[in-house]
Amino acid sequence: MECAIRIGRGVISLGRIIAIGNRKGGSGKTTTSVNLSAALAHKGRNVLLVDADPQGHSALSLGTHVTPEQKTLFDVLVGGVGLQETVRDTYLSTFHVIPGGSKLATFERDHATDPAAKLMLADQLDSVREQYDYVLIDTPPRLAS
Ligand SMILES: Nc1ncnc2c1ncn2[C@@H]1O[C@H](COP(=O)(O)OP(=O)(O)OP(=O)(O)O)[C@@H](O)[C@H]1O
Ligand SMILES: [Mg+2]
């Protein structure tokens, strides 16, 4: 089923957002995120995988390394950087990834009780959602909500 909004006589397709989450560590979140994303991309769907785990394993498993000057999800969440600036290519033209980076652990710690923080990623995803059929999010263990 596709997500879409109607504006006037036009219809804009919105990518379906799927967060892979489980509070338990080592339960297959990253494995599921990467393989489900890859399977959809191989089927010709435009897929964006967001690595929201400071461990960064989903982006790393796709060969995406982050140098100090490269922007990541952390820079988006703390402000000043658009999500689109952090999108990286993978081995497939239909498959893109946003690395989180280890600094995400700092963000988690500093904003754990901030209700607005929970909406930051949602707001940013809205800005790129039309470009993808699917947006998958690999979440960290112990994520409260
Ligand atoms: N379906 C599966 N069957 C067997 N082993 C699996 C399966 N899925 C994942 N694993 C293995 O389980 C381990 C943990 O997987 P993974 O890293 O995907 O978990 P995770 O939930 O992302 O962990 P974390 O909470 O640390 O982020 C890995 O060694 C992985 O190869
Ligand atoms: Mg993981």
Quote the tokens at residue 92: 């497939």
- The CATH architecture assigned to 15-138 reads 3-Layer(aba) Sandwich (3.40)
- Locate the ligand 1 atom nearest the alpha carbon of residue 141 and give its number: 25
Q: Is the CB of 25 under 6 A from ligand 1?
A: yes
Q: Which among 123, 139, 131 is positioned nearest to 47, based on CA atoms?
A: 131
pTM, two decimals, is 0.89
Contact 137, 59 (CB under 8 A): no
What residues flank ion ligand 2 with Cβ within 5 A? 29-30
Q: Is the CB of 20 under 6 A from ligand 1?
A: no
Q: Which among 4, 6, 14, 10 is positioned nearest to 122, based on CA atoms?
A: 14
Q: Is the CB of 29 under 6 A from ligand 1?
A: yes
Residue 93, pLDDT > 80, answer: yes
Q: Is 58 helix (H, G, I), strand (E, B) or coil?
A: helix
Residue 131, pLDDT > 80, answer: yes
For the stretch 16-30, pLDDT in tens is 999 999 989 999 999
CA nearest ligand 1 atom 4, residue: 28
